[in-house]
Chains A and B, each alone.
Chain A
Amino acid sequence: MAAESPTSDRKVVVHLRATGDAPILKQAKFKISGNDKFSKVIEFLRRQLHRDTLFVYVNSAFSPNPDELVIDLYNNFGFDGKLVVNYASSMAWG
């Protein structure tokens, strides 16, 4: 577990998990500043996958608002020292 950081910029380990038929990232784990908003994670995914639309969610429970702070998500829903973020492609209309 990360020790208390001397600065307020605590890093959070984010683990990106592909679900459905979404492509798997070569680099699925990265560190992000806890003070960053979740929108940064979403943008990272979009750039890596070259997809406009992604469905992003946490813990088989909910989809975080892009304005949520990563540190808040980690503190409430992280486990084993990381925040697991699932992603899927938005499917076409059936």
Chain B
Amino acid sequence: MGGHCLWDGTLSPNDFIASADDLTKKWMAINPNLPQWTWIPCQRMDVSCNAEGYLALENMYQLSASEVNAPTDDENYSAEEAPFDNATLIQSYNDDMHIYDFHIVYSFSYQVPVLYFRGYRCDGHPLHLCDIEKDLPPYSSKIRNESKWTFMTQEEHPYLCCPWYTLHPCGTSDWMKLLLGGDLPSKNPDMLHYLSAWLSVVGQTVGLRIPLELHDKSI
């Protein structure tokens, strides 16, 4: 790596794999009780490449916005209604849980990671983007609507060949160059932590909370 060359914000396939491994291990150490990142190895077309694959984080449960905002005003509660029933409430709670899958896939054309995600109801019914947007925290909508660097599209998952939502990667190298390239542009960036850094930005856009400890390099 030439120390005097300006880094362009991208990473190589091998760096992606190393960084994915680092993210997986750190996540396990910090969040052992949450769903884990799993490396899914792949074969793409005829190319036999042992090291190609993507990272998957699946079955992240999210209480749907409709449940969170369920009216609790007593005024809306008719005297004719059945008395409060715990069993009924729990059933409704499960029905309104949304499940999210997140995949981190390497883009060979942009040479950056790309986030693919999808959400669905407990009955397996997929969520449309407008439903997903209701689940996201307010700052997430702000970032997506205002930032010129992040916008969502629906694209075919490179390995699973069905439509997933994705954050378009065309701005990624620009802001990664700022984020990791930082103070001394000629300094070699910390590629091992590329994915943690990238995820700290991308996660905010899709409501995926990244624990602070993930960025602590002493861990």
Question: Could you list which residues of chain A lie within 8 angstroms of chain B, going by C-beta atoms?
Answer: 19-20, 39, 52-53, 55, 57, 60-68, 72-73, 76-77, 86, 88, 90-94
Query: B148 to A65, Cβ gap below 8 A?
Result: no
Q: Can you name 22 A-B residue pairings with CB atoms under 8 Å? A: A20-B178, A52-B146, A55-B147, A55-B178, A55-B179, A57-B178, A61-B190, A62-B179, A62-B201, A62-B215, A63-B179, A64-B200, A65-B200, A65-B203, A65-B204, A65-B210, A67-B209, A76-B216, A86-B182, A91-B171, A92-B148, A93-B170
CB-CB under 8 A from B55, the residues of chain A are: none
5 closest A-B pairs (Cβ-Cβ)?
A60-B182, A62-B200, A62-B215, A66-B139, A63-B201
Encode B79-91 as 1/0 by CB contact (under 8 A) with A. 0000000000000
How far apart sit A54 and B36, CA to CA, in the bound complex (Å)?
31
Contacts known (A52-B146, A66-B139, A66-B204); A93 close to B171, Cβ less than 8 A: yes
How far apart sit A52 and B170, CA to CA, in the bound complex (Å)?
20
Query: B197 to A65, Cβ gap below 8 A?
Result: no
CB distance from B171 to the nearest CB of A (A): 7
Query: B149 to A91, Cβ gap below 8 A?
Result: yes
How far apart sit A91 and B201, CA to CA, in the bound complex (Å)?
15
Contacts known (A19-B182, A93-B171); A62 close to B196, Cβ less than 8 A: yes
- Cross-chain contact of B200 among A39, A52, A63 (Cβ < 8 A): A63
Interface of chain B, helix or strand or loop or mixed? Answer: helix
Query: Does B183 belong to the interface (CB within 8 Å)?
Result: yes
Query: A94 to B182, Cβ gap below 8 A?
Result: no
Q: Which residue of A lies closest to B143 (CB)?
A: A53
Contacts known (A63-B204, A91-B149); A57 close to B216, Cβ less than 8 A: no
- Cross-chain contact of A77 among B170, B171, B183, B215 (Cβ < 8 A): B215
CB-CB under 8 A from A64, the residues of chain B are: 200, 212
CB distance from B110 to the nearest CB of A (A): 12
Query: B182 to A93, Cβ gap below 8 A?
Result: no
Query: B212 to A90, Cβ gap below 8 A?
Result: no
CB distance from B150 to the nearest CB of A (A): 9
CB-CB under 8 A from B179, the residues of chain A are: 55, 57, 60-63
Query: A90 to B217, Cβ gap below 8 A?
Result: no
- Cross-chain contact of A55 among B149, B209, B214 (Cβ < 8 A): B149
Contacts known (A60-B183, A65-B204); A19 close to B178, Cβ less than 8 A: yes
CB-CB under 8 A from B209, the residues of chain A are: 65, 67
Contacts known (A19-B182, A53-B147, A61-B217); A94 close to B174, Cβ less than 8 A: yes
CB-CB under 8 A from B56, the residues of chain A are: none
- Cross-chain contact of B215 among A61, A93, A94 (Cβ < 8 A): A61
How far apart sit A72 and B212, CA to CA, in the bound complex (Å)?
8
CB-CB under 8 A from A66, the residues of chain B are: 139, 204
Query: A90 to B178, Cβ gap below 8 A?
Result: no
Within 8 A of A (CB), among B145-193: 146-149, 170-171, 174-175, 178-183, 189-190, 193
